[in-house]
Amino acid sequence: MKVHETLDSLITPALLVDGDVLEHNLTTMAMALPGARCRPHIKAHKTTELARRQRAIGHVGFTCATTREMVGLAAAGLGDDLLLANEVLDTKLLSVLANLDARVTVAVDSESTIEAAARAGLKECLIDVNVGLPRCGCLPDDAGRLADLARARGLEVRGVMGYEGHVVGLADRVEREHQTAECMAQLARAHLGVGGDVISAGGTGTFDCNHFATEIQAGSYALMDTTYGALDIPFQRALSVLATVVSVNARDGYVVADCGLKSLGMDHGNPSIDGATVWFCSDEHTTFSTDDAAPLPDVGTRVQVWPAHVDPTVAYHERMHVVEGGAVVDTWAVDLRGW
């Protein structure tokens, strides 16, 4: 999809990607964790065209959260090494994966998920290990048993996976490094019982703290958000939502822009607007006031709204516009949404 428009002609709300910042983020990661050292997580952007850029800069493998992301990347010829980093039980979906023209590895953390993968004809798996985040993953001491079980069911066990998701957002670097090391000690214990070449872990917040994983599953680094933007990591916010001021209330000192709960992931809280204070969001609106007694913008003014959380923001949008030097240079379909 390629649509050339001026920034002024975009229908709002519109997802914008700063092309230069994206380039900076991709380059910075590829220099820090070249090639297979980073396995970009597709869930953060759900956009094949962006994945192509991550592939072009050297990252051969991808991490996916859904089978649809896997199918889309395979169809686009990006299936060199696809990891489904979530447990899936649906045999229909797993069979689709087994028949992709791609190298497919799935996460398993129980007898049931191993059984489902084996029945679907999948060939390779990672043992997903719980390293402290209360989510999926087997107990570290159970990993070896599950690996044996997977091998007995004919699966190749490539190694282990363990996501320190409760650590990636810690503001204090020393604490973040310390807790990452503790998590990876658990993953190491699991790996002893499992074997295999792959130790897959980490995220954008621990990309340079996690020295144990063979590959880092970073996703947010490409587009970033205000939550991650508060950390001391060298990635910058590339993603914003362009909105239009549609109403001004001079008496009460606020204006209303036409982006809201259906164009912004809200689990990390309100979005931000430079030089302004966001009051609240409604379905299609964001109410805000200007800081430091700055004049209110007029009706029709375009504003850039910074989402607090990139992943569920992108998932609301059909497309993202790449902007360079104030011009829309490309439009990418957010084509890997849904289930």
Tell me which residues touch its own copies (CB under 8 A). 9, 11-14, 43, 65-66, 86-90, 92-93, 109-110, 112-113, 130, 134-137, 139, 165, 244, 246-249, 251-252, 254, 256, 258, 261-263, 265-267, 279-285, 287, 298-300, 309, 311-312, 315-318, 338-339
CB of 156 to its own copies, least distance (A): 22
> Which tokens belong to 145?
């048993």
Q: Which is nearer to its own copies, 37 or 319 (CB)?
A: 319
Which residue's CB is nearer to its own copies, number 30 or number 84? 84
**Least separation, in Å, of the C-beta of 320 and its own copies?**
13
User: Which residue's CB is nearer to its own copies, number 3 or number 280?
Assistant: 280
Q: How far is the CB of 209 from its own copies (least distance, A)?
A: 20
Cβ-contact 122, 130 below 8 angstroms: no
Report the nearest approach of its own copies to the CB of residue 62 (Å). Answer: 16
Residue number with CB closer to its own copies (185 or 299): 299
Alpha helices per DSSP H over 57-167? 67-75, 91-98, 111-119, 143-152
Name the residue among 106, 81, 121, 68 with its Cα closest to residue 339. 68
Q: How far is the CB of 116 from its own copies (least distance, A)?
A: 9
Nearest distance from C-beta of residue 292 to its own copies, angstroms: 20
Task: Compare residues 37 and 166 and give the one whose CB is closer to its own copies.
Answer: 166
Question: What count of Cα atoms within 13 Å lies in the side-chain half-sphere of residue 133?
Answer: 19
Is-contact 235 297, C-beta < 8 A?
no
Which of 244, 235, 223 is CA-nearest to residue 305?
Answer: 244
Cβ proximity to its own copies, 165 vs 234, nearer residue: 165
Q: Which is nearer to its own copies, 89 or 192 (CB)?
A: 89
Cα 323 to Cα 68, 201, 207, 229, 240: the distances in Å are: 27, 32, 27, 20, 11
Question: Following CA atoms 76, 82, 87, 88 in sequence, which dihedral angle do they give, to the nearest 10 degrees?
Answer: 40
Q: If you count DSSP H runs as helices and E runs as strands, how many of each does the chain have, helices first?
A: 9, 15
CB 170 within 8 A of CB 196: no
Q: Which H/E stretch holds residue 204?
A: none
Whether 336 and 49 have beta carbons less than 8 Å apart is answered as no
Q: How far is the CB of 23 from its own copies (least distance, A)?
A: 25
